[in-house]
DNA sequence: GAATTACATTTGTATATACAATAGTTGTAG
DNA sequence: CTACAACTATTGTATATACAAATGTAATTC
């Protein structure tokens, strides 16, 4: 899938535009494959991410702000995401005793079991998505992407 | 921004997982910057993409399926996306005479003018997003991403 | 040429997301 | 200790998206 073919322009696109489009297309592909892989578990990608973060906490509770920091999505969303996970009994929510404004969220036993299965499927999906490039190329790619994610001049406004 | 810091796992992540997470993070960044850049024009990223595709048609009309093929989003959406652009008088819609099932969509004069301004801002944004890597690195990145977008084994199910 | 199938788009519905406003809790200044 | 500001989470609302069903048109088959 060539980017120029998609937008079908006469002039070649600036290399920056092309790069961004490529990134968006890859992302689209990732989203589709991931959603498909998680469908049997009846959780969304975001819900999977919440579970993964909670697992990463190793029994320690996470409050909403923590979850939110580590997630891409926005706060208002996180509340409702957790609501869904509670309905499925994958996580638990309690009010923090020392600061009643805070909410503590834990992954349940069922949550851990499900997450384990999901993780296996997701890893397979990731490998499939990346099957066209070698490990050393992945490292190369990672290095480049890492630099793109680094805000070395966040303040410098457009 | 290091991926391991975000998920906070003890064990290092498989390189595939890390790569996918990096891609998702970069995408998140692109979405944010792009939405921000387009805000003054009161169009969404998707609406901007539609305009860009129509412009690429060079006066020729595009029907909905064409738009849809070249866009990331799904069909049902495209109808409503175009609705919005019509409200803003950036595109026009007519029924195709030779096949009344088809809908032809054109970019208007106003649409072209606005698109020009948007494109300038977007290009600046793209350069800003990519400022941390050189042109040759962009080419390298493009080559890798292009391979990821190539379905060389679409049929091979997980 | 009537019935059936396929095509192109639209609509309905459920869910997801973004942003702003609100509620409940805690900290702090006078 | 009361008033006010700050913090944490939730809710409301508008918009976006995904998927399935429905609409209207054209092509095909009998």
The CATH number of the domain holding residue B65 is 1.10.10.10
The whole-number Å distance from A96's CA to C26's C1' is 13
- Provide the domain count of chain B: 1
Tell me whether residues B53 and A19 touch, CB distance under 8 A. no
b/e burial code for range A128-147 (CB count within 10 A of at least 16 → b):
bbbebbeeebbebbbebbbe
Give pLDDT, residue B128. Answer: 93
Is B82 within a domain? Answer: yes
- Specify whether the CB–CB gap between B105 and B93 falls below 8 A: yes
In sequence order, which residues have a C-beta less than 8 Å from that of residue A94 and are 6 or more positions away?
A61, A103, A104, A106
Q: Give the Cα-Cα-Cα angle B133, B139, B143 (nearest 5 degrees).
A: 125
- Whether the per-residue pLDDT at A25 is higher than 90: the answer is no
The overall average pLDDT reported for chain B is 86
pLDDT of residue A151: 67
CB A25 within 8 Å of CB A69? no
pLDDT tens digits, residue range A136-158?
999 999 999 999 887 654 443 33
Secondary structure tally for chain A: helices H, strands E: 7, 3
Nucleotides of C under 7 A from a protein CB: 7-12, 15-21, 24-27
Which of A91, A73, A74, A72 lies closest to A82, judged by CA?
A91
Residue A3 pLDDT: 65
CB pairs under 8 A between A and B: 166
Phi, psi angles (nearest 5°) of residue B4:
-60, -35
For residue B155, pLDDT beyond 50: no
In a domain, B3, yes or no: no
Answer yes or no: are the C-beta atoms of B85 and B28 closer than 8 Å.
no
| 3-class secondary-structure state, position A2 | coil
**Sign (positive or negative) of CA dihedral A50, A51, A53, A58:** positive
In this prediction, residue B156 has a pLDDT band, given cuts at 50, 70 and 90, of very low
Confidence (pLDDT) at B48? 92
- Residue B127 CA, chain-centre distance (Å), reads 16
Interface test with A, best of B12, B15, B53, B136 (most A CBs within 10 A): B15
**Residue B93 located in a structural domain:** yes
3 state DSSP class of B8? coil
pTM: 0.87
Asked whether the beta carbons of B12 and B4 are under 8 A apart, the reply is: yes
Q: Is residue A13 part of a domain?
A: no
What does the pLDDT average to over B17-45? 90
Q: Are A108 and A25 in contact (CB under 8 A)?
A: no
Q: Is residue A62 part of a domain?
A: yes
Least confident of A87-96, B29-38, B58-67: B58-67
List of E strands, chain B: 62-63, 91-95, 103-107
Task: State the average pLDDT over residues B103-110.
Answer: 93
Quote the mean pLDDT of chain A: 86
B17 occurs within a structural domain: no
Query: To the nearest whole angstrom, how far is the Cα of B118 from the nearest Cα of chain A?
Result: 13
Between chains, do B145 and A70 touch, taking CB under 8 Å as contact? no
Radius of gyration for chain B, computed over Cα atoms and rounded to the nearest angstrom? 19
Which bases along strand D come within 7 Å of a protein CB atom? 7-12, 15-21, 24-27
- Whether residue B1 lies inside any domain: the answer is no
**What's the rounded mean pLDDT across residues A34-57?**
89
Which domain covers residue B62, as residue numbers? 42-154
Q: Is residue B16 part of a domain?
A: no
């Amino acid at each position: 899938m060539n980017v120029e073919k998609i937008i079908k322009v006469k002039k070649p696109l600036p290399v920056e535009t092309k790069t961004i489009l490529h990134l968006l297309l890859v992302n689209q592909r990732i989203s589709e494959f991931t959603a498909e892989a998680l469908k049997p578990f009846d959780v969304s990608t975001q819900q999977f991410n919440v579970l993964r973060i909670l697992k990463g906490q190793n029994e320690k509770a996470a409050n909403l702000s923590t979850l939110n920091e580590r997630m891409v999505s926005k706060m208002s969303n996180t509340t409702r995401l957790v609501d869904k996970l509670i309905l499925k009994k994958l996580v638990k929510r309690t009010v923090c005793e020392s600061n009643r404004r805070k909410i503590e969220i834990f992954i349940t036993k069922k949550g851990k079991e499900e997450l384990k299965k999901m993780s296996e499927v997701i890893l397979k999906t990731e490998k499939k998505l990346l099957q066209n490039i070698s490990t050393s190329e992945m490292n190369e790619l990672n290095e480049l992407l890492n630099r793109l994610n680094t805000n070395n001049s966040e303040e410098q406004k457009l």
